[in-house]
C-alpha cells in the first residue's frame, strides 16, 4: 500500500517527535491525545510499536513472504469472532483465513465455539478441539472475541498440556483486554437493556457481554504462556478517514474520547502491554478489510508466523523498548 501524502506527513512527524521520555505508556498517550489530537496519537503509537526491533523485523518478513514457506504446523485452527453465524460479513466466521490456508497448502478448520458464548463455554470447545487433534502440530488463529476466548482457555488448569502441540497463536483484532464499548453501553441503560433483551431473544447468554468489559476480572491478567508458543497480534490502526466497514464509524466515535482505537472496540493503548509480537496495519480498521487489498499482507503475516518468522518470546511485552534504529514501513 502506498501512503497518502497526508498520512505520510503525519507518520513522519510522529516518527521524529521527541515528546516522550523513555517508554511510551497509556497515561502519556492519553495526554498526547489531548494535547496533539487523536490522529497524531494514533500515528505516534503506530511508529512507537514499529521502533521495537522484533515488531519491525516481523512486518518486513510478512511484506515479502511467499506462500511456499515450510510451515511449522500441520493445520490451522480458527477461533471465530462474535456472532460468526449471524454476521458473516464482518469476517468473524474465518472464511478468509480458510482461503489463505488453502493457498498455503495447509489444512484448516473453524473451531465450533458458540456464536456469542461465554468464555467458559468457548474455552471448553477450544480444549476439546485440541484434544481431538492431539499429536498434530497446530497453529491457532483467533478473530476479535475469539482472542479473548483463547486467552481464557490458556488460563485454565492443565493448559500447558492442552497447548503442548500448539506452535503459534496469531490474533487478528483480538479483544484480549475486553472493550470499552461495554462500559459505554452500561452508561446508557435503555441501550444496555435493549441489547441484553436482544441477546436473550437470540439465545445468547448475557454474561458473555459482561465478561467483555474492559479490564474485567476474566481478562485483566495474562496467563503464563508456554515458552514454545509464538504469539503475533495483528491490529488495524485507522484514522477516521480510513474507516471502511459500515459498523466502524460508530465504534470509532464511541471509543475516541479514550484515545486511539480500531473502530471495533479495541483501545489501541492496550497493545503496549501485550506479550509477543505486535503487527500494526496502518489504515485498516477492526475488520481488516480496508479500501486497499490487504490480502497479500495477511497471507504474509500468517505464513511468516507459522513458518517461524516470529520469535518464541511469548512472555515479553511487544512494546519493550529497543535500541533498534527507527523504522517506518509503507504499510
Give the pLDDT band (50/70/90) at residue 309: low
Question: How much is the pLDDT for 68?
Answer: 64
Question: How much is the pLDDT for 114?
Answer: 96
Question: How much is the pLDDT for 159?
Answer: 93
Average pLDDT, the chain: 91
Give the pLDDT band (50/70/90) at residue 325: very low
What CA–CA distance (Å, rounded) separates 233 from 173? 7
CATH number given to 25-306: 3.40.50.1820
Question: How much is the pLDDT for 149?
Answer: 98
pLDDT above 50 for 18? yes
Per-residue cell: 210: 459482561
pTM: 0.92
- Region 12-41: what's the mean pLDDT? 90
Q: If DSSP codes are grouped into helix, strand and coil, which group holds residue 7? A: helix
Domain ranges, ordered by start, for the chain: 25-306
Tens of pLDDT along 30-70?
Answer: 999 999 999 999 999 999 999 988 999 999 999 987 656 78
- Write out the DSSP string of 94-143: -HHHHHHHHHHT-EEEE----TT--HHHHHHHHHHHHHHTTTS-EEEEEE
Per-residue cell: 146: 475469539
- Residue among 159, 17, 150 nearest 78 (CA): 150
pLDDT above 60 for 329? no
- For 179, residues 6+ apart whose C-beta sits below 8 A from its C-beta are 212, 213, 214, 255, 265, 266, 267
Question: How much is the pLDDT for 20?
Answer: 75
Tens of pLDDT along 169-212?
Answer: 999 999 999 999 999 999 999 999 999 999 999 999 999 999 99
Question: How much is the pLDDT for 31?
Answer: 92
Tens of pLDDT along 120-153?
Answer: 999 999 999 999 999 899 999 999 999 999 999 9
What CA–CA distance (Å, rounded) separates 132 from 149? 18
Q: If DSSP codes are grouped into helix, strand and coil, which group holds residue 69? A: coil
The residue among 79 and 220 whose pLDDT is bigger is 79
Could you tell me where the beta strands, DSSP code E, fall in the chain? 75-79, 107-110, 138-143, 166-172, 230-237, 277-282
The percentage of residues in the chain with a pLDDT greater than 90, rounded to a whole number, is 80
Question: How much is the pLDDT for 331?
Answer: 52
What CA–CA distance (Å, rounded) separates 221 from 228? 20
Question: How much is the pLDDT for 52?
Answer: 86
Give the pLDDT band (50/70/90) at residue 93: very high
Question: How much is the pLDDT for 65?
Answer: 79
Tens of pLDDT along 237-255?
Answer: 999 999 999 999 999 999 9
Question: How much is the pLDDT for 208?
Answer: 96
Tens of pLDDT along 259-299?
Answer: 999 999 999 999 999 999 999 999 999 999 998 999 999 99
- Region 21-25: what's the mean pLDDT? 78
Residue with cell 514454545: 228
Amino acid at each position: 500500500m502506498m501512503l497518502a501524502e497526508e498520512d505520510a506527513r503525519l507518520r513522519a512527524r510522529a516518527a521524529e517527535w521527541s515528546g516522550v521520555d523513555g517508554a511510551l505508556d497509556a497515561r502519556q498517550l492519553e495526554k498526547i491525545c489531548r494535547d496533539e489530537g487523536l490522529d497524531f496519537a494514533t500515528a505516534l503509537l503506530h511508529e512507537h510499536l514499529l521502533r521495537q526491533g522484533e515488531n519491525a523485523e516481523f512486518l518486513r518478513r510478512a511484506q515479502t513472504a511467499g506462500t511456499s514457506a515450510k510451515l511449522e504446523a500441520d493445520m490451522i485452527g480458527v477461533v471465530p469472532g462474535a456472532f460468526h453465524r449471524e454476521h458473516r460479513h464482518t469476517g468473524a466466521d474465518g472464511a478468509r483465513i480458510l482461503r489463505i490456508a488453502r493457498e498455503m497448502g495447509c489444512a484448516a478448520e473453524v473451531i465450533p465455539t458458540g456464536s456469542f458464548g461465554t468464555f467458559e463455554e468457548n474455552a471448553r470447545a477450544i480444549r476439546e478441539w485440541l484434544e481431538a487433534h492431539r499429536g498434530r502440530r497446530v497453529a491457532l488463529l483467533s478473530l476479535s472475541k475469539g482472542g479473548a476466548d483463547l486467552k481464557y482457555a490458556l488460563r485454565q488448569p492443565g493448559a500447558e498440556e492442552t497447548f503442548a502441540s500448539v506452535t503459534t497463536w496469531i490474533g487478528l483484532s483480538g479483544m484480549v483486554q475486553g472493550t470499552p464499548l461495554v462500559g459505554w453501553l452500561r452508561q446508557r441503560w435503555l441501550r444496555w437493556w435493549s441489547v441484553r433483551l436482544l441477546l436473550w431473544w437470540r439465545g445468547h447468554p448475557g454474561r458473555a457481554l459482561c465478561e467483555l468489559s474492559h479490564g474485567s476480572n476474566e481478562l485483566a491478567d495474562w496467563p503464563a504462556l508456554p515458552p514454545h508458543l509464538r504469539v503475533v497480534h495483528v491490529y488495524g490502526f485507522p484514522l477516521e478517514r480510513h474507516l471502511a466497514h459500515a459498523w466502524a464509524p460508530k465504534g470509532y466515535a464511541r471509543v475516541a474520547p479514550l484515545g486511539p482505537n480500531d473502530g471495533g472496540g479495541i483501545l489501541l493503548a492496550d497493545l503496549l502491554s501485550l506479550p509477543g509480537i505486535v503487527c500494526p496495519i496502518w489504515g485498516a480498521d477492526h475488520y481488516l478489510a480496508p479500501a486497499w487489498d490487504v490480502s497479500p499482507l495477511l497471507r504474509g503475516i500468517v505464513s511468516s508466523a507459522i513458518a517461524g518468522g516470529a520469535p518464541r518470546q511469548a512472555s515479553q511485552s511487544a512494546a519493550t523498548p529497543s535500541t533498534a534504529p527507527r523504522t517506518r514501513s509503507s504499510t
